Each structure stands twice: as structure tokens, then as C-alpha cells.
Structure 1
Amino acid sequence: MITKEVYKKNVKSIGFLVMVLSPLIVIAFIAGLTYYFSQEEQAAPDVPIAVISEEEGIDQLFSNEQWSFEVSDNIDTEEAAEEALLDESIGGYITAEVVEGTVQAEFVHTNELSDQSSLIQEALTNYQSMLRADQLDLAPEEVMALSEPAMLDQRFVNVDEGTVTEEAFSDRMVQQGGAYFVSIAIMIFIMTYAGIIAEEVANEKGTRIMEIILSSASATNHFFGKLTGVMLVLLTQIVIYAVVGFGAYIYFRDSEMVQEVIGGIDLAAVFQELMGYTIIFFIVGVLMYVVLAAFFGSLATKMEDVNKAVTPIVFMALTGFYVGMFAFTAPDNLFVSVFSYIPLFTPFVMPFRIAADTVSTLGVWLSIAGTVVFAVLISGISLAFYRSNVLIYSDTNLLGTIRRSWNIMQSNRKAIRNRA
């Protein structure tokens, strides 16, 4: 009954609707802007430029190549090009000449043509190579042979327990993407649901309705009922995102923009990676922090104290998140290695070490086992304190409330022992 009421109240609330729709609206807005600007770029007319050179080959070079600008044919002097640039009839001009086999050129342009400078330089370099080839009496095939790039194959390997295994580059990218995903997702869900579970507990305690509830249900049932209800709300949000994401993919998968984004990504590998270690760290990490939030929420005696009560959780999560970001750049750092085995920070840090292959399979499972054991342990400790402080109404600080809860818990144990 407690789980059902918590779930129904949160899912039917305006806050839940806003919480679910906000990321979808932001993603849709960004995707819409990206699509709009890409269409604008494609529909925009080519920017005209002028090419001023006495070399016929250079004129042909810019008239024959497929450029994203038009070459103006009616401008043949630098003075005319400057006047055209001033009245904005052209976006820039190129002056070029050949001195002793070397192409000397200048590209005067507005910022609109900045991305074309490297392409223009490459084209002029190729033209210069052809000129020098003519001077050396080289055939075109010989020029192509001289300019042919060296072949370099890249092989990504893992070194694990004295064994070298080959790994595809896409797998490495998928692992790094999964690490980013789990860190950001854990941080978002912790910030959201830690406050929800803390408010759930503090709200009933602040209205003094807790005495009535505990007359019909035990503190244990109340604790896990609230916890289960909030976790079901979280699961509902994840399912909604999964359904919307899958539907959007089915609808837009054949569009040109989507193909450009996911064309080189192995979606099966991405899904497999997310369903591996990543999903384990995500579930255990969120559950661990939600349990802690329920514990700290029970220490608050009124709604106004909830934010102060969950502040330690926020700082712990932020610490883990930033260490995880540092782990991406230095995954083999000793500081990172130590933090990856501290349960409160493992869900943030260990995925980056897995992506960088700086931890063995045994180390990964040890960290998972340690995190699970810690989550179970913290659940038991939180439940024990919850039973003691759920009916405590005190205006003392957080440490004072914890100390008082500990004393009450010890007194209850002595009473039970004496009764036995």
C-alpha cells in the first residue's frame, strides 16, 4: 500500500511530467536547431570570390574544382577586387603568382570563408607540385607516386594478465561513450530522486502523521515501501525514455541527418556495452545514493530542512563525478585507481577505467562486489537508524540528530536484551 501510494502520487504529479518532458524538449529543440541550420547552410547561395592571377593554370584550378564558392569572372585586378569586397559583392579574393616554381598567394576574405583557407592552400600546393614536376620532366604517374601517402594501419590491443588481445576502435569509442553516459545519468538521477525520497520521508514526519502510519505498519515496511515506490518512479522514467528513443529512431532512422550521426556507429555494440558493466554500475550507484537520501531525509524534522539534509549526498556525488571526468584523461593515475574502489565513487570512476583498459576483469568484479556489499550494508545501517529517528523531532543539527538516534538505538537494544 505504501509503495502504491508513493508511486501514484509522484507519477500523477505535475513535477514528474515536467521532469520527464524537460530533457525530451531540450533534445528536440537542439535537434530542430541543428536540422534548421543544416538546411539553411545547404540552401544558402555560394559566396562569390575573385581570383587574380596571370597564371592560366591557377584560373583553371578554381574554375574546374568543385568549391563551395563561386569565382567571379569580371574582376581581374586587385583594385577592383578591393572595391567589390567593400560593397560586399564578393566575400574575398585570391592573388597568386608563380616565382621560380613556387606559388605565392594571398587570400583576403571575410570570416565567412575561413573554413576554405586550408582547402585552397592544399589545391595551390598540388598545383605547385605539378609545376615542379614539369621542370623535372616527371610524368604525372611519377608525381602521383611521389605524393602517395604512406600506409599506416592501426591496431588497438588490450594487455590483460600477460595476454594481448586485439580490439576494434569502435569498441573503444563505445566504451568511452558508455562511461560518459553512466556518469552523467547517475548524477542526474541522484540529484532528482535523492530529493524526492528525502521529501517523501520528511513530509510525513513534519506533519506528525508518522505516528498514525507506524501504528498500522512497521518502520521497516514504511522504509522499504517508500524506497520501492521511488525506484519504480525512476524505472518508469527510464522506460518512457527508452520507448520514446526507440520510436524516434524507427521514425527518423532513414533521414540524412540521423545517418550522418550514427552511420559509423555499431548500435548493437552500443546496446551490448550499455547492458554490460555500465548498467550494473548505474543501478547499484543510483540505488546506493537513494538509500542514503532516505536515511538523511529521516533526520529532517520539517520540509525546510530537507535541502540541508541531502547536501552531504550532493557533495559526495559531485566529488565522484569530477573524479570520473579526471579519470577519462588520466585513467592510470594512482588517485583514480584508489577512488575506483571506494564504493561511493566506484559507479562514476570505474567505467572510465574499463573504457581505457587500465583495470583487469578481476578488478572490475571486485569493485562491483564491493559496491553491492556496501549498498546492502548501508541499507541495513540506514534502516537501523531509520527505526530509531523516524519519530524524533529535534531542532538540533544533523550530527546531533545522528548522535541522538544512535543513543536511542543502543537503549532499544539494551531493553530488548533485558526483556529476553
Structure 2
Amino acid sequence: MNKLWIVTFETFLRQVKSWSFVMLVLGPFLMFALTIGAGYVGASGADNSDSIAVISSNKQLKDSFVKANKDDVKANISDKKTAIKKMNKGNLAGYLVLKTDAKKVTAKYYGTNSLDSSLKSKINSFLLTSQQQLNFANAKLSKTQSQSLQQQPKLTEKIQKKTGTANLAKIISFWITVIMVYMILITYTSITSQEIASEKGTKIMEIIFSSTTAVKYFLGKIFGVLLVILTQILVYLVGGWGAYVFAEHSSLTKSFINDYQSLITSVLHNLLSVNLVYLLLGVVIYTILAAFCGALVAKVEDASKAAQPVIMLNLVAFFITFPFQNNVDSIFAKILSYVPFFSSYFMPLRLINNNASGLEVTISLLILLVSIVLLAMYIGKIYQGLMLQTDDSSFWKRFKRGISYSK
């Protein structure tokens, strides 16, 4: 058993130390950092050319407007001369002059272009509110009368669960899930098949098989790759949580997170569920098959070709899910959600659309687990016969020899 874990950790450490793994893990976070950084640079470097200045002799009136519209206002400009200079240089869209007397609140805008409709609406809303406050003060109403006049109408929305955000969340969850499964499968099937194929026919394999069984060595390789996969998923979960917390508090993304909170919550619920188990088990069974393909190559030079059969199977499973995105009730989709190599795509698709019961998920997972164990044990049994073949014979001849060696 010690030799099994030695092979496991040696495989794990060799993979996590490689630059390809580091870039694979850090790639999404680097893209996120570059996107956020570019957004900050763009926001700070634009010099607020779409912003306006507010000029007013009434400091309270000006401060109220700036506080309510701080994203549209350049608060550090307080005089008309500076505002005109900035506007002529193209660093300011215009300036707003606010005035008030005992009876009326007025505003006059000076700019190079007409006011944006959104900003115009905000200014009108501010003027209306300020004018009402002035009217109430002039009318000298009692507290009860003032409260009665300030009553506002109320609009509520009731969205059906099967429409709107729910449907959009399903679509986003579907694409994230299938692309994530596809990319991780492609990566690790290539890594595993090339690692196995690179050892093909080497003298070191004869020494290894004389000191430990082929089954232990093969399982050690698979467990090592499995630990690498778990490490990557754990880094993605922790890093993704950190990125989400950052986005919640960042001035650049906070408003977006708040506006789409329910959508983001629904998508995260679909992703951080039993779908992660299907992702993990799907990678495991494809990795075992990739190891088998790597052991079947004729020589070390063919290592780059070893993963092609597994990649083609993964491509078929990936593309075949598309027609069933909106047709999960199809008997074909239901059958494939139980078939190993396809269930990692189709059962998450059914779960996202609330089309699978707990019993169906349990049966599908049991079939997948049993298939993984049986496939691993069988390939481990014939692994020595496959790896020690060095002749440039056909695929079927090498396969038959491997089987006969295990008897």
C-alpha cells in the first residue's frame, strides 16, 4: 500500500510543479484581474468627460444634488470659470447652475451637447423633490398634513418561477457547466495519456514492475491525477469565493452584483451542487480511459496522439448536449444521463432544469461509480502487458496481447 501512495504523491507533485498546471489554475484569475484592472484604469483615465459640474450659491442645495448623483457629478468644481475651461478642453460635458429663492427652485444647464435622458430625469426628480420641500415649508402645514401629502404609490412585481430570471439562470448554468466539464476533461485526458505514453517501453518500467504490481502503479497514477483535479477545483472554489466577495465591495462591480443578485445566486446554486460530483467523476472515468489509450501507443514518440480517441469521445458528448438544452424531457437525454462518459454532461443538464429526481441521480451516480471501479481494475490488470509491448504492431494486436498477458 505504501508503494501505491508513493506513486500517487510523486505523480501529484510532478503535475502541480509544472508551469502548465500553474497557468491552468491561475489563468481564470489572471483574466479576472486584468479585466478589473483595465476597468479601473479606464474609469480613472477617462477624466470623467461625461460628468457635469454643479454651481450654486446655496451649499445645502448643491451638496444634496451631488450626494444623490455622485456618479454623474464632478464635485471638486465650484465656480463657473473653472467649469467653462474644463468643458472647452473636453474634460467636462457641461455644468448645471442651481438657484433657489423663497418660492422657487430653478436649474439651468450649459453644455456642449444635450443632457443624457437618464441624467435629465435625475435632475427633474431632484428639482421636483426640492420644490415640494420648499412648498411644504411655505404652506406651513401641520406634521400630519405634510405626511399625508408625501404618500407615494407602490409598484410590486411577481415573476413566475419558470420565466424571466429563472430561465436565464438555467441557460447560463448550462453553458458554464458543459464548457467547464469539456475544458477540464480535455486538459486532464491529454495530461494523463501523454504521461503514460511517455513511459512506454522504457527500461524503468521493467524495474518498477519488478518491485510493485501493475495494478498498484496504475492506480497510483490515477489517484495522483485525481488529487491534481481536486486541488484545481479547490483553488477555483476558494478563489472564486474571494473574487465574488471582492466584486461585491468593488465600486466598479458592486452595482452590477446588486442588480443581478438573484440571477447570480441561482447560477451558483446550480453549479455548487451535485453537479460538481458529476464533474469530478466524469474527469476520473475519462482519465482512466486516457491512461489506457496512452498505454496502447506503439512508442514514446506517439505520446501526443495518445489522447485523440478520448478527446473525440469527449467532443461527441459535448456537442450532443446542445440539441437537448431545451428538450430535457427527451427519452434520448434521459437514457444518456445514465450512460458513463455521457452522464457527466446530461444529468447536470437535467438537474439544472429540475428534470431529475433524487432516485434517478442516485442510480446514475452508482452506475458511474461502478463503471469507474470496474474499468480501473480491468485496465490495471492488463496494464503491465500493455506497457511492456514495444513492437510497432497494430492497435488490436497490442490490445489482444495485453489481455492475454493478464490471464
One-letter amino acid matched to 1:357: N
2:327, 2:117 → 1: CA distance?
35
Pick aligned residue for 1:44 from 32, 42, 49: 49
Distance 1:169 1:355, change over 3 A: farther
| Aligned partners of 2:214 and 2:381 also within 8 Å | no
Aligned partner of residue 252 in structure 2, secondary structure: helix
One-letter amino acid matched to 1:210: M
One-letter amino acid matched to 1:156: K
Deviations 1:230-277 (A, max 9, x none): 221222223333333344444553223332343214877666544432
1:260 is the counterpart of 2:255: yes
Aligned partner of residue 233 in structure 1, secondary structure: helix
Distance 1:410 1:395, change over 3 A: closer
1:195 is the counterpart of 2:190: yes
**Structure whose residues are more often strand by fraction:** 1
In structure 2, the partner of 1:339 is 336
Q: TM-score, normalised by structure 2?
A: 0.66
1:268, 1:45 → 2: CA distance?
33
> Which residues in structure 2 correspond to 1:326-405 (within 5 Å)?
326-396=323-393, 400-405=394-399
2:282, 2:310 → 1: CA distance?
12
| Aligned partners of 2:8 and 2:221 also within 8 Å | yes
> Which residues in structure 2 correspond to 1:101-180 (within 5 Å)?
153-156=158-161, 177-180=172-175
Cα deviation for residue 224 of structure 1 reads 0.7
CA RMSD of aligned residues (A): 4.3
2:339, 2:154 → 1: CA distance?
48
In structure 2, the partner of 1:99 is none
| Aligned partners of 1:301 and 1:394 also within 8 Å | yes
One-letter amino acid matched to 1:193: Y
Distance 1:311 1:411, change over 3 A: closer
Aligned partner of residue 273 in structure 2, secondary structure: helix
Cα deviation for residue 391 of structure 1 reads 0.8
| Aligned partners of 2:7 and 2:224 also within 8 Å | yes
Distance 1:4 1:363, change over 3 A: closer
> Which residues in structure 2 correspond to 1:199-210 (within 5 Å)?
199-210=194-205
One-letter amino acid matched to 1:298: A
Distance 1:42 1:149, change over 3 A: farther
In structure 2, the partner of 1:280 is 277
Aligned partner of residue 154 in structure 1, secondary structure: coil
Deviations 1:206-228 (A, max 9, x none): 43321111111110111011111
Deviations 1:292-322 (A, max 9, x none): 1111111123333123221111111122222
In structure 1, the partner of 2:235 is 240
Distance 1:281 1:211, change over 3 A: same
Distance 1:288 1:408, change over 3 A: closer
| Aligned partners of 1:301 and 1:395 also within 8 Å | yes
One-letter amino acid matched to 1:401: F
1:317, 1:193 → 2: CA distance?
12
Q: TM-score, normalised by structure 1?
A: 0.64
Pick aligned residue for 1:410 from 384, 400, 404: 404
Cα deviation for residue 152 of structure 1 reads 6.6
2:337, 2:236 → 1: CA distance?
29
Distance 1:406 1:352, change over 3 A: same
1:9 is the counterpart of 2:3: no
Give the gaps of 5 or more residues in structure 1.
48-65, 70-87, 92-111, 121-147, 158-167, 414-420
One-letter amino acid matched to 2:7: I
Distance 1:244 1:149, change over 3 A: closer
In structure 2, the partner of 1:142 is none
Instruction: Count residues in correspondence.
Output: 325
Cα deviation for residue 344 of structure 1 reads 1.1
* RCO higher in structure (CA 8 A, sep ≥6): 2
Aligned partner of residue 392 in structure 2, secondary structure: coil
One-letter amino acid matched to 2:403: M
Distance 1:353 1:119, change over 3 A: farther
After the TM superposition, which of the residue ranges 374-383 and 291-300 deviates more from structure 2? 374-383
Distance 1:317 1:412, change over 3 A: closer
